[in-house]
């Protein structure tokens, strides 16, 4: 038995969505007004001063920050977004069948290869110096006698 599908929507079909949106906006406005009226209203010089995260700023804002911090943040976002792709796959696992399983194995292999590369490069090591790249050429001055290297 097939159900009839209505392909033309009337404006009245969107009424429940509009009612829910209106109720959500009304609740937010109500909560803000009530908290402003009922809540304590104490002002002081310290309380009204502007601050950043409650921490007193110390030093110069232009101090260099380690690149490892930014690499870790970028890697977190990268792997987090890749993991998000696994949820639709898990929900539709049976419908995708063997082809979907093979595609996820390929995806996971590429993901783990990238993670292995990150581990090999030492990006996640915070307490150690990052190892030098293996494909970089050694300095030319290191092959010359000491007198020439010192003169340069």
Sign, CA torsion 79/80/81/83: positive
The CA angle 54-58-63, to the nearest 5 degrees, is 120
> Residue 63's pLDDT is what?
81
The CA angle 126-130-134, to the nearest 5 degrees, is 155
* Spatial separation of the C-alpha atoms in residues 125 and 68, rounded to whole Å: 9
> Residue 25's pLDDT is what?
97
- Given a contact cutoff of 8 angstroms between Cβ atoms, the answer to whether 121 and 130 are in contact is yes
Of 109, 126, 119, 111, nearest to 79 (Cα)? 111
Mean pLDDT by 10 residues, the chain (152 residues): 69 90 97 92 79 69 79 85 87 91 92 87 72 54 54 52
Domains of the chain: 65-126 (1.20.58.1610)
> Residue 59's pLDDT is what?
78
Sign, CA torsion 118/123/124/130: positive
> Residue 35's pLDDT is what?
92
**pTM tops 0.75:** no
């Amino acid at each position: 038995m097939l159900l009839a599908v209505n392909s033309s929507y009337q404006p009245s079909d969107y009424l429940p969505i509009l009612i829910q949106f209106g109720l959500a906006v009304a609740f937010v406005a109500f909560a803000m007004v009530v908290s402003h009226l009922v809540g304590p209203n104490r002002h002081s010089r310290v309380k009204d001063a502007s601050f950043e995260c409650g921490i007193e700023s110390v030093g110069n804002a232009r101090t260099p920050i380690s690149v490892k911090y930014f690499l870790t943040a970028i890697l977190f976002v990268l792997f987090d977004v890749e993991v998000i792709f696994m949820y639709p796959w898990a929900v539709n696992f049976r419908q995708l069948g063997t082809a979907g399983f093979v595609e996820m194995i390929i995806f996971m292999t590429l993901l783990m290869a990238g993670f292995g590369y990150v581990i090999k490069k030492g990006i996640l090591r915070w307490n150690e110096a990052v190892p030098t790249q293996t494909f970089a050429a050694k300095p030319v001055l290191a092959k010359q006698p000491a007198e020439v290297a010192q003169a340069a």
